[in-house]
Amino acid sequence: RKEVEQDPGPFNVPEGATVAFNCTYSNSASQSFFWYRQDCRKEPKLLMSVYSSGNEDGRFTAQLNRASQYISLLIRDSKLSDSATYLCVVNRDNFNKFYFGSGTKLNVKP
Partner 1 sequence: GAGVSQSPSNKVTEKGKDVELRCDPISGHTALYWYRQSLGQGLEFLIYFQGNSAPDKSGLPSDRFSAERTGGSVSTLTIQRTQQEDSAVYLCASRLDRAAGNTIYFGEGSWLTVV
Cα separation, 9 vs 45, in Å, equals 19
31 scored as a contact of partner 1 (CB under 8 A): yes
Rounded to the nearest whole angstrom, what is the least distance from the CB of residue 51 to partner 1 in the complex? 9
Q: Are 37 and 44 in contact (CB under 8 A)?
A: yes
89 scored as a contact of partner 1 (CB under 8 A): yes
Choosing from 28, 43, 53, 81, the residue that interacts with partner 1 (CB under 8 A) is 43
- Count Cα neighbours of 36 within 13 Å in the Cβ-side half-sphere: 18
Cα separation, 50 vs 3, in Å, equals 17
Q: Are 104 and 11 in contact (CB under 8 A)?
A: yes
66 scored as a contact of partner 1 (CB under 8 A): no
Which one of 11-19, 22-30, 76-84, 98-106 is the stretch in contact with partner 1 (CB under 8 A)?
98-106
> In the complex, which residues of this chain contact partner 1 (CB under 8 A)?
31-32, 34, 42-46, 49, 87, 89, 91, 94-103
